[in-house]
Each structure stands twice: as structure tokens, then as C-alpha cells.
Amino acid sequence: MFRTRSVSLVVPAYNEEATIQKVVEEFRQEPHLDEIVVVDNNCKDRTAELAAAAGARVVAESKAGYGAALLAGMTAATGDILVLVEADGSFRARDVEKLLVYLDDADMVMGTRTTRQMLEQGANMRSFLRWGNVFMAKFLQLLWLRPHEPRFTDVGCTYRALHRATFARIRHRLSQTGPAFSPEMMCAALQERCRVIEIPVTYSSRIGGESKHSDTFGRQARTAWKMFRTICRKRFLERSAPVPKRDPADRVGGR
């Protein structure tokens, strides 16, 4: 619980038997988490078995893809607050409280892996990948400079927290099944005029395995192109929610 609100952790997983048990065990030590939901996204190994043994609730999602798994996990979770994280062990449980504290002032809190002081040795955030995320984030920021004036430096960081009410507001705008789901969530929140802020989180080396989206230059380029197209579509081809009308009583002096 966090200030009377229940908190669910959502972990998308595809063949993560080398890491999932350690990830679940680490996050189970975080006192604010009420449940850990691991999404079995067509795993062909012992991911689901090991996650359940470590204390997670496992749900299955047959539609393949990172975005599809996250969407299924958030839908299945029961918490008032949803925290999303990777299954590879690259994020630290100690940052959960930081996300929750900032969530008091926002509808969604994004983590960023681009702060050099927060990158641990061996983390998969080499120069091209790091600056690619910064460039794409600044592009997204520029497109929504008015009226939101967001400040972003990372579009691919899974680690984030949002209120269940925020998820309900943006759910109908989420359609990407792959890694473009990450910036799509950011755009959807801005379309719904949610308040989104970004804070640095610790980013560590993976416990095992390789990224499915950024382990090679070719995959990085394909992921970047999908993200770019998604951001442009959300900004130029989809209508944002109308600006809410101000209640006259909210004006200074009631006038």
C-alpha cells in the first residue's frame, strides 16, 4: 500500500527464466507493492513456473509483443496504482518508492535511463542507444510543446507508474503491440491532457539474456522507426481530448 492506495507491479515476460525469479524476489521485498503480476507472453521455457514459485501472480497473453503483454498485465492487475518494469533485472526495486512519491503530483511518472550518473557499469545504454532515446524524446516533447510543455529524455523506458484512473483514460488510445507501445502511452496521456513527469531511475546490466528490441543496430533502427511513426500518428492523425472548461468558481475571487 502507498498512502491507503494498493499498488500492483506489472512485469511482461517472454522466455525470461534466467532472470524472472530474481526479479520477483527483489520486488517482493518492496513494502509498498501489494501484488506482482507477471505476464506470460507465449513463453516456451520455465518463466511462468519460476515466477509463480517466487510469489507472483501469472497471467497469460497469447497476443505476441511487449505492448500486448503490458496491456494484458495492467488490465489484470487489481491495484489503484500500476507500476511497470522489465523482467531482465535492469531496474531496481528501491526506485518504486521514488515513482510513487512523484505520482502524488502527476497522472503518470516516467523513468529515464539517460542520466549518466544513474547508469551502472555494464548497462545496455551505449552512446547510440542513449542519444537515440534522447533525440526521439525531444522530438515528442517538441510536438506537444503547446499546451503541455513536457520534459522528456527517454521514450523506451518501461519503468513507470500511473494511477488506474489514468490507465482508464488512455486505454482506448493504446494499440501498439511492440516496443512502440512505450511512447504511445506517453502520447496517449498527453492526448488526454494528463500530467506526465519524468524522473531518473537507476539502470543496471541485465541479469541474463539479450534485449529483444535493442541488442543489434538493425533492431535499434527498426524500433526507432516504429516509435517515430507512432509519435507522428498520435500527434497529427488522432484528435486529442478537448480542453476542459474551467469552472467559474475556480477563478480568482470567483470572477
Per-residue pLDDT of the chain (255 residues; tens, 9 = 90+): 999 999 999 999 999 999 999 999 999 999 999 999 999 999 999 999 999 999 999 999 999 999 999 999 999 999 999 999 999 999 999 999 999 999 999 999 999 998 888 776 556 667 778 889 999 999 999 999 988 899 999 999 999 999 999 999 999 999 999 999 999 999 999 999 999 999 999 999 877 655 555 567 788 899 999 999 999 999 999 999 988 775 555 443 333
Domain containing 128 equals: 7-237
With vertex at residue 41, the alpha carbon angle to CA 39 and CA 45, rounded to the nearest 5 degrees, is: 100
The confidence score (pLDDT) of residue 147 equals 86
Residue 255 counted as domain residue: no
Residue 216 is predicted with a pLDDT of 73
Handedness of CA 136, 139, 140, 145 (dihedral sign): positive
> Is 242 among the domain residues?
no
What is each CA distance from 194 to 23, 85, 228, in whole angstroms?
A: 30, 21, 21
Predicted local distance difference test score (pLDDT) of residue 8: 99
Q: Examine residue 175 and state whether it is found in any structural domain, yes or no.
A: yes
Backbone phi, psi, residue 37, to 5°: -105, 115
The domain spanning residue 176 has which CATH number? Answer: 3.90.550.10
Q: What's the confidence (pLDDT) of residue 166?
A: 98
Q: How many domains does the chain fold into?
A: 1
pLDDT value at position 118? 79
Q: Evaluate whether residue 57 is within a structural domain.
A: yes
Amino acid 212: pLDDT: 58
Q: Residue length, the chain?
A: 255
The per-residue pLDDT for 214 is: 55
- Does some domain include residue 247? no
- pTM for the model: 0.92
- Cα(57)–Cα(72) distance, rounded to whole angstroms? 13
How many C-beta neighbours within 10 Å does residue 39 have?
30
Confidence at residue 215, expressed as pLDDT on a 0 to 100 scale? 60
Residue 228 maps to a domain = yes
Q: Confirm whether 245 is domain-assigned.
A: no
Does 243 reside within a domain? Answer: no
